[in-house]
Structure 1
Amino acid sequence: MSEVIENTIGFQQVLRALEYALKHSPFYQRHFSAIVPKNITPEAFRQLPFTGKEDLSQNNRDFLCVPQQQIAEYVTTSGTSGKPVTIYLTKNDLLRLAKNEKESFELIGAKPGDLFQLMTTIDKQFMAGLAYYLGVQELNAGMIRIGPGVPALQWNSILENNPAILIAVPSFLINLIDYAKQNGIDMNQTSVRSVICIGEPIREEDLSENILARRIHSDWNLELFSTYASTEMGAAFTECEAHQGGHLNEELIYLEVLDEEGNEVLHGEKGEIVISTLGTEGTPLIRYKTGDVARIYREPCACGRNSARLGPILGRKNQMIKFKGTTIFPPSIYEIFDSHSEVSCYKIEVSKDYLGHDTITILLENKIEHTPVMIEIIEECKAKLRVVPHFVFLETDYLRSQVFKNHMRKPEKIVFK
């Protein structure tokens, strides 16, 4: 394993990140109180205690490594997997964001002068929207900042301004497709050639397209690029044009993918993603457990790059559902509803009954309540989930307002009550 560290990013970079955190972070001074950086070998690094989301939530300010007057941006996590926390960015951290996104855009074949349309928020302390904007400027390209939702406004901009690349949540593309069909817009005659997909997987475990991606492609002939990122890491894993997993930016992130015993998994195996940030000033993280599970690919990519790659997120450890004795991860539920063109919107609510057991309620459009597709959905739940959740049917516009909320940075497809 020491060879992996030394050959990919150079172990000295990891040591510098560790030394910086020990010197400036009150949290890491306590967390690594007995550590002497000069004595750390690659093997010893793998024995350092992890940092978890709970640490960051309970000790948020103690992760800060610079005086407050040096903080250029305050960004927060979305809160989809716990209490939102603040990540503090210096000017150099913003340059790091810009570098990451510029190089991510180059992975998908974007070039200076291309025009992007941003369909995610850039306000509300959202790092992704900010990162995309900075990366586009670094690329010397153009950006149309529409923000989330409002299909009519998105299409007006596409038809008037001719962007080549969209940045969007994949499930929102279904709403764009529905609007285009209802309003006589020929999607395949527009300027759009590709979409950078954020927040949802578009790949199966074997890296083939999942149902959501196939559903989009059944109507719209464009190229979809998968990404994986988090506010904490301040970087993204982005697919290249070979679509064989999201590439690690080795200058910005040290990656570990670990099994339940904490051992590094082999090529093609799945494990929990653990990251250490490199070159961050405001809020460095060392051996940070993301809770996300994915497969890692270590062999060279078809594009010729040698960097490690991550497959789609297969589940989040804190989003495992135990329902009627069955373990379920949300992607298994998404797949059932994404596979039906009659379903344009849905929401999953997970709560506890009076005995403390998980219960699942699916909110669906009332137009499908008494239709053959509902019978198909119930049978698929029995076959694929081995259980049938409770269904509640709502008016379409109201349901969409509960999923694509104005104050939310991402569609709220699932909520744990």
Structure 2
Amino acid sequence: MKLPIVTLKKGEGRMLKAGGLWIYDNEIATVSQDTINGGLVCVQDFDGYALGTGFYNNHSKITIRMMTRDKNGEVDQDFLRRRVETAWAYRKKTVDTSSCRLIFGEADFLPGIIIDKFSDVLVVQSLALGIDKMKGDILRLLLEALEKDGVSIRGIYERSDAKVREQEGMERVKGFLSEPFDTKVEITENGVKYIVDVEDGQKTGFFLDQKYNRAAIHKLCSGAEVLDCFTHTGSFALNAGIAGAKSVLGVDASQLAVDQATQNAKLNGIENVVRFQCEDVFELLPRLEAEGRKFDVIILDPPAFTKSRSSIKNAVKGYREINLRAMKLIKDGGFLATCSCSHFMSYDLFTQTIGQAAKNVHKRLRQVEYRTQSPDHPILWAADESYYLKFYIFQVCKNP
């Protein structure tokens, strides 16, 4: 099938040629008259050289998202089946698949779609018009791949209610893509049980990207007094409790999150060790310092303080403040687990910000380890947007 042609300006497409998957509106010279939003196009360089196939949407600054670099490749059912089967085969090799991210957009060469598996339920988030048109086929092919391995799925829920859809000229939608089912889904991760609210929880219901980072704190938390800041539904706090912590305090500004975290603690039978309170962390940390409180382990897992380049300066202030305050509250020789989930807070900037905080409070940091997101959220080199989570564990010491 002959596709409409989009031609790039001379000297543009540098990100694409370096391995990226996006083409922005200001890189495009000409567009065929038969091009439709959400439809596939053949991308050509200024001199007519074919660069591959992607889907087009002039409502979005990311006007083309590439599906393949194969200039002769056809994006059909067989193509989608290969993509889906490759994504599933990768997860089987790299992660515990009882609950995991099955499709991670660009990093699985299916740009704009996320599919998470929570036990026997799938949650899909479609964020781009072109892939939205393929959503039904992708889900059907994924179910077929899972069924071949004896993995049964009892329901599918859509969480395409992210604001970014409006930038694609799409409505925000959520609801069942299967027969209705109980949207409170129980999962087990690292030996910890959770109730995941796939209907009203944040994003797809639960943050799977920290799975192995949560496991990494177990040994540190045995017998420890632990403070978990921005606890959300209690994931790090619960891991600390299961690992044998003496006491755990989880804090979040959302009462709904605190209620869910408390429910999760009861589910695991550790409500006497792990407790939660609703409070602003930025207000709590100075008060704990004034009270002379100290902890063996502090965990900082804040939401993204910046979602654009324009707000990086304020984000740096926020990260520096919470890390500085936490270091003051940690006993000499205790441990700090700290992270950033913002793509725009680069590794270098995050590292520099933590170092500045330590300098300001005259603490020495010994790096225990550095980690990123779980392998079911693969980092695709040359697609910078796929690398977003930075996670450090430090031992915090006085200056000798």
Q: TM-score, normalised by structure 2?
A: 0.33
Structure with bigger strand share is: 2
Higher relative contact order (CA 8 A, sep 6+): 1
Q: TM-score, normalised by structure 1?
A: 0.32
Greater C-alpha radius of gyration: 2
